[in-house]
Structure formats: C-alpha cells, structure tokens
Amino acid sequence: MNWHQACELPYYHGSDLGANPTAEETTFKLWAPTACGVVVCLYATGTDAEPGAKELGVHEMRRGDGGVWAIVLPGNLHGTYYIYRIYFPDGRVHEVVDPYARSAGANGTRGMVVDLTQAAPDGWEQDRRPDIPAHARSVWEVHVADFSADGHSGVRPEWRGKFMGFTPDDTTLDNDGEHPTCLNYLKNLGISHVQLQPIYDYATVDESRPDGGYNWGYDPQNYNVPEGSFATDPFHGEVRVKECRAMVAALHRAGLGVVMDVVYNHTYHGESNLERTVPGYWNRRWPNGMMTNGSGCGCDLASERPMVRKYVVESVLYWATAYHIDGFRFDLMALEDVDTMNAIRAALDSLPGGESILLYGEPWMGGGTNLEGGARPADKRALDALHERIGFFCDDTRDCIKGNVFDAANAGYVNGAPQHGYDVLHSISAWRSGAHGFRPKRAGQVVQYVSAHDNYTLWDKLAAVGRRGDYDCPDADLLAQNRMTAGIYLTCQGLPFMQAGEEWGRTKYGDHNSYKGPLATNRLDWTRAHRPEFAALTAFYRGMLAIRRAYPRLSGAAGEPEPFILALPGWLIGFVPENDGTATAGQLAVYYNPERTRQWASLPAGTWRKVSDGVHAGVTPFGPCFRDALELAPTSVTVLVAE
C-alpha cells in the first residue's frame, strides 16, 4: 500500500476505538477499512491454559462510517478477554488483539475489557501531578525491574522488580533502618522526575513464568497495556492496571513526576496486531515493498499516515489521563515526523495542566527509513519546525564531557582530552550558539546528560578510558572524574538527566548493551550505593542538585541569556550565569578545571565563598572568603557565591 492508497482509506474522527464499558453495555469498535467482515470473540481467561478457560461467545460486528466495525453487547464486560477475527476479500483471516486494548492476559495474546473505575488503587481519585517549577526539573532514568530487584533492597520479596516495588516509602538496606533504598532513597536525592524504561506490554519476557527472562522492553506488543511481568499477577488483566497506577501515585506522593519511555517508532515484528488489522497500512516500506527498519530492531511505524498519527496521539493522551503520566520520552524520535510530534504537544497542552507535561526524545535513528508525503523527521535539523517545548537528548554534550560512546577508549574533557573545552563552552549555554549546525529555540529543549541505559554506564566509560579493570574499586581518579562530569552538566543550561545509580558509580562490569539481562548485571546494587566512597559521590550529586534548584538562572528555563564567559588560561572554563560579569550578592561563579594539577583562576570583582569545591557541594557556603583569585582543585567543578 503506497502513500496515495493509504491516504484514500477512510479516516475515523471519533475517539472511542477499542472496548468501552458502561454500567449497562460494552461497545467494541475497530478501524479495519480493508476488511470484509469482523467478529469479536469473547473468553473467560487470557489463555486457554488457565483454570476456567472457555469461549463466551462470537459476535458479528457491523461496518459503519470511517471504516470502523462496531457492536454493542449488554452488560459491563469488565474482566472479559477478547480478540478480533478479521476476514479479508482475498480469503485471509487474521486473529488479532485489539490495538486499542487497555489490558490483556498473560503474554498479551488476548485483550481484556477494563473498566478503569474498577482498576484503581485506593486514593487514585485524589492523585495529582506534582507542581515542579521548570528550573527545578531533573530526570533519573530506571527500569522497573532494576529498581527493587536487589535482595538487599528491603522491599518485600513478592514486590521486588515489580510496579509495587515503588510503593513502600520506608525501605532500608537489609531492613537495617539506617540506609535508605528505593523510594525512600529517591525522595531525598533531589531529582524531580523518574523516567521509566518501557512499562507498556512488550514481547520478549514470558509473563507466565516467574523466571520468564529480562528485557529493557524496546519491543512493543500492546501499546496501551501495562507490562504483565511487572505485575504481581499477570493472568488477571486488572491487576497490572491497578498496580501500575499505584506506582505512579506513590511517586507523586513523594513529590516526583513520572516520565514514560515510549517506543512508537517501530513494532517488534512485521506481523504486529496493527499490521494484521489493516495489512500494508501501518508500517513504512521501501519502493520494493520491504519494510523499513530505521530503528535497527523492528519495523518502522508510518507516523505520517493519518490513522497512525491519530493512534500515537491518542495513545499518549490515554497514558497521560488514565495513568497521570507527567512526561514522555520518545525512543528514536527522528523516526517520528515533525507534524506528529507537534500534534502530540498540542494534544497534551489541551489537557488541564498539560503544558507542564514533559516531551522529549532521541533526535536520531538507527538506520534508514522512508517518510512519505513530504514529512520531515523529528531530528536536530528540524528544530526550526518542532515546538519549542519538544526537547531532545544532546549527544554533543554527552560526548564532549566524557568521550564518544562508540569508542570505549575515547576521552572527553574530564578524562584526558581537555581540548573538548570548546564544545563544553557551547554546552553551558545549551548550544544556542548553533555551533554544531543546530540551534535550540530555548535552553529547556536540550536534555543535558552523559549516561543513559544505552552504552556504558558513566563509571564503566571512565574506567575504560582510564584502563581500570576493577569496577568495584573506588578509584580516586574515577571518583573525581565522575564528580566533575556531574558538576558540568548540572551547571549547564537545559534539562539535566542521569541514569539511575550514576550518582554512586553504577557499574555493569563493562557490558555496554545489557538489554536482555541478566538481571544481576542490570539491577541497582543498593549495597554499593551505601559504601562510604560511593555514598560520598551521591552526596556530591545531591548537593549539586540542591544548588541548581536554589539558583534558577543555572537552568535557563525562564529564557535567561547565555552565561557570561570569563577569560581564563589554558583549558580552564569559568562563567557567571548572571551574564554581566558583575558581583551582585547571591550571584554564582562556576569554574571547571580538567587538569590533574591545581590551577589558579582569576575571580570577578567582589567577595566569594564556595558552595562546591569539587568534592563537597550544597547550598550553604563554606570555607574562607576569596577575592581576586582562587586555586582550583584538580579535576573539579568549583561553584562560588558572591557575599
């Protein structure tokens, strides 16, 4: 099906696709304009292998406007499982899970009718998004299983690695009552948002077995269904919905926003439920008919096609409203088209308080694709057309600070290649100079980071460059480089982002692509987090985050101009966020020293005291007063405040 044929298919303007129960009846609607017949098959269970499994009926649906097949059945069918059987003119018959299903049985092979009012945790109606000022935003990325799977986490065994592992707020290491873990730890770290790696239903973990495997989840199966392996009971579809919402509510009670990692760029395989519903429509193809694979791990969704765009927009809105999600991180966002991303931004903004919902993504793709109809990919070259509140991960910042992610031995500014200071200067102002061929409209568009789930952890990257083979050793050089790395991106304008555990030197022992496990490699090591040397590293992160919150101009979130750069020798960098170089009381001065030796730097006029010396950080000034000049510690970020 080419672009013109796709555009000739009828468009459905309603917002009620899927199974929608009320107290009296349940309506099923499916967009399948190329079908010649559709029936809905009802079941008592999610699979035939469960006790009580039986077919409850087969009902013929009728075609209506917009290519939609529909039927209304009596009663609220909450808890009933179903599939569609679709007949095509050429004789093919496809059995599919409803692409709009809101829950499912084990392994997602049957959808489940869900009445959201019957799948709500206690107090859900009172749940509200936390009010987080733009300058105070920062993101901490974690996988649901990684968060609490550690046997030392203090989380009860049946909740470890599950949605419910986020709900207790008083856990400690081995229940010692002293060293906080999980949410108890997170609520005092100073970050504002938790980004969760995929929590929708994905294909590569066997939900029917406790040891069903591990995967990051970038293999989408049912986009509007929570992942069953994260539920305490994957066989009853209402449980995953209720427990996922309970997780969100617990994070909200702790004052934290929730960002959802979404993968609308590709389907896991070419026989997805979407593709089998309207063959030839949902995925992009090359002129020879082969599906494009710009993600490198699946078949690209054709976001530029009208009903695909509608599906993606409505799916995002569903998660934002039904689960109170506070932000969306788009995997391989460049595989989405600009108009779709802008439509998502507009749809979110239409919600009450929706302008505060974060929206950002990866402005690259993993291979070639074939956008049709003049659509533009949502990459860094399209910033002129993207809404100013659609952000992007800045790989330029990432690589200039600690080295290229695709070359383990390649160094950056903090670990042996200070000449990258030129790019660090641009990072400070969120690349608004246009130095690398892209120019953000505002600082808040730029996600400033050095580590995420992909590639090496920060600690492992620093160890690779430094040729350190003992990942558990609290090496003094690596600790200094880690602190300096954090000190840089936490004083740059933009939105700071970190991988969970970066703040305590998280290691995966050199595994740069742990997407399918084992869990032992991926889980957060809460014992390591409380080793004295790594706990001190965490304290530095906590202090730098506090400084950032206390001095809003550091973020550039209110449209502040670029910082005033100080003239310093060699590869030293210094700047004043106030932009005029004067020493107003309460103003900051920030210095980076990438050298392994102490360096002298001149100070702006006035009297200054430290709030960070590169080892300790916090909002309370400490140490003596300085005028005229200051000796900077090796491999350090120093922050001073004017008296």
Q: Residue 624, Cα to own-chain centre: how many angstroms?
A: 42
pLDDT tier, 316 (very low <50, low <70, confident <90, very high otherwise): very high
pLDDT on residue 584: 74
pLDDT tier, 145 (very low <50, low <70, confident <90, very high otherwise): very high
**In this structure, are 470 and 619 located in the same domain?**
no
Nearest-angstrom CA–CA distance, 143 and 127 = 23
- In this prediction, residues 528-541 reach a mean pLDDT of 98
pLDDT digits (tens, 9 = 90+) for 2-30: 999 999 999 999 999 999 999 999 999 99
pLDDT tier, 465 (very low <50, low <70, confident <90, very high otherwise): very high
CA angle 630, 591, 397 (to 5 degrees): 165
pTM of structure: 0.97
Quote the percentage of the chain above a pLDDT of 70: 99
pLDDT on residue 579: 55
Active-site amino acid positions: 331, 362
Could you tell me the CATH number of the domain that includes residue 473?
3.20.20.80
**In this structure, are 537 and 466 located in the same domain?**
yes
DSSP structure string for 51-112: TT--EEEEEE-EE-GGGEEEEEEES--TT-EEEEEEE-TTS-EEEE--TT-SEESGGGSSEE
pLDDT digits (tens, 9 = 90+) for 376-394: 999 999 999 999 999 999 9
Domain boundary residue, one of 118, 145, 175: 118
**In this structure, are 413 and 282 located in the same domain?**
yes
Strands 111-112 and 68-74: unpaired
Which among 505, 513, 562 is positioned nearest to 534, based on CA atoms? 505
pLDDT tier, 298 (very low <50, low <70, confident <90, very high otherwise): confident
The encoded tokens of residue 167 equal 């709900």
Q: Residue 157 gets which letter from DSSP?
A: G
Q: Residue 437, Cα to own-chain centre: how many angstroms?
A: 26
pLDDT digits (tens, 9 = 90+) for 254-288: 999 999 999 999 999 889 999 999 999 999 999 99
- In this prediction, residues 480-486 reach a mean pLDDT of 99
Structural domain span for residue 31: 3-118
Total domains present in the chain: 3
**In this structure, are 169 and 32 located in the same domain?**
no
Nearest-angstrom CA–CA distance, 49 and 150 = 32
pLDDT on residue 578: 74
Domain boundary residue, one of 519, 554, 589: 554
**In this structure, are 140 and 55 located in the same domain?**
no
pLDDT on residue 6: 94
Nearest-angstrom CA–CA distance, 26 and 112 = 12
pLDDT digits (tens, 9 = 90+) for 33-88: 999 999 999 999 999 999 999 999 999 999 999 999 999 999 999 999 999 999 99
- In this prediction, residues 115-129 reach a mean pLDDT of 98
pLDDT on residue 297: 84
pLDDT on residue 580: 52
* Residue 102 domain-assigned (yes or no): yes
Phi, psi of 405 (to 5 degrees): -75, -20
CA angle 537, 535, 601 (to 5 degrees): 25
pLDDT digits (tens, 9 = 90+) for 417-457: 999 999 999 999 999 999 999 999 999 999 999 999 999 99
Could you tell me the CATH number of the domain that includes residue 600?
2.60.40.1180
Cβ–Cβ < 8 Å for 103, 115: no
Domain boundary residue, one of 91, 118, 145: 118
> Residue 202, SS3?
strand
Q: Where are the alpha helices (DSSP H) in 211-302?
A: 237-253, 273-277
CA angle 150, 155, 160 (to 5 degrees): 60
**In this structure, are 246 and 181 located in the same domain?**
yes
Cβ–Cβ < 8 Å for 460, 437: no
**In this structure, are 522 and 590 located in the same domain?**
no
* Residue 545 domain-assigned (yes or no): yes
Say what angle helices 476-489 and 458-465 make with each other, to 10 degrees: 130
The encoded tokens of residue 499 equal 């991988």
Average pLDDT, the chain: 97
pLDDT on residue 582: 55
- In this prediction, residues 608-624 reach a mean pLDDT of 98
Could you tell me the CATH number of the domain that includes residue 14?
2.60.40.10
Given CA atoms 505, 509, 515, 516 in this order, what sign does their dihedral have?
Answer: negative
**In this structure, are 461 and 586 located in the same domain?**
no
Nearest-angstrom CA–CA distance, 288 and 485 = 47
What are 296's strand-pairing partners? none
Cβ–Cβ < 8 Å for 444, 494: yes
**In this structure, are 527 and 612 located in the same domain?**
no
Given CA atoms 170, 175, 181, 185 in this order, what sign does their dihedral have?
Answer: positive
Q: Which helix (H) or strand (E) holds 545?
A: helix 532-550
**In this structure, are 377 and 313 located in the same domain?**
yes
What percent helix, strand, coil does the chain show, rounded to 5? 30, 25, 50
Q: Residue 614, Cα to own-chain centre: how many angstroms?
A: 29
Q: Which helix (H) or strand (E) holds 478?
A: helix 476-489
Q: Find out whether the peptide bond into 518 is cis, omega within 30 degrees of 0.
A: yes
* Residue 559 domain-assigned (yes or no): no
* Residue 300 domain-assigned (yes or no): yes
* Residue 341 domain-assigned (yes or no): yes
pLDDT on residue 353: 96
**In this structure, are 113 and 133 located in the same domain?**
no
**In this structure, are 636 and 610 located in the same domain?**
yes
